[in-house]
Amino acid sequence: MSILTRFKDIMSSNINALLDKAENPEKMIDQYLRNLNSDLGKVKAETASIMAEEQRSKRVLDECKEEIDKMERYAVKALEAGNEDDARKFLERKASLSNKQNELQQAYDLAVSNSEHMRQMHDKLVSDINELESRRTMLKGKMAVAKTQERINRIGSSATDAKASISAFERMEEKVNKALDEANAMAELNRKPKDDIEDLKAKYDDDKSDSIEDELAKLKEKMKNKE
């Protein structure tokens, strides 16, 4: 497959669609860029060659036109000198050159068309490469973000598992507290019931105060006897 045929296939394809269908866009775009940069070098060489052919065709055409003008000037000079035969020969050469000029003009027009076509293909290829370079940078940025998101998702999954563990711990703590409360309640129930009557009796018990009064009276009597 020639470079021009391959280049035509590349230019007729939808590069964006190819990238969208790729299983690994990051690797595929690198491969496309390698291929396109390789093709760009060949297209540049082909374009330069065709542009050189355009310049050569123009130079040959211009030389032919100059020769035609020269033959006409010589024919005029021959007539001015009274030499019709010489003038006729110059005009015959002019006619022959005029036929050649038509052929050279056609060749030059074709060379111009080919050169313009190649320049367009070259510029389109450069534009596509620049676009892919930009898309590659953007794509790798997106891939980095995607990988970060994957790590966040994994961390989120771990956090969910940790939350479940914390919830289970809290349930166990609640059971322990419940068991402690039940044990305390049972201990309260097992205590001997309090007898309020004993406290009530102490309120009205005056034995202590009576003994003090008796002792005070004895002390007074003792002091009186000493007098």
Which of 65, 48, 142 shows the shortest CA–CA distance to 102? 65
pLDDT confidence of residue 201: 65
Give the per-residue pLDDT at 205. 59
DSSP annotation of 1 reads -
CA 88 to chain centre: 77
Please report, for residues 11, 150, 161, the alpha-carbon distance to residue 143 in angstroms, rounded to integers and kept in the order given.
27, 10, 27
**What pLDDT, on a 0 to 100 scale, did the predictor assign at position 160?**
65
The alpha carbon of 149 is separated from its chain's Cα centroid by a whole number of angstroms, namely 13
H helix intervals, 13-24: 15-21
Residue whose C-alpha is closest to residue 215's, from 223, 203, 204:
223
**Residues 6 or more apart in contact with residue 148 via CB below 8 angstroms:** none
- Whole-number pLDDT of residue 89: 93
The per-residue pLDDT for 100 is 92
pLDDT at 1: 44
pTM of the model: 0.48
The low-confidence residues of the chain, meaning pLDDT below 50, are 1
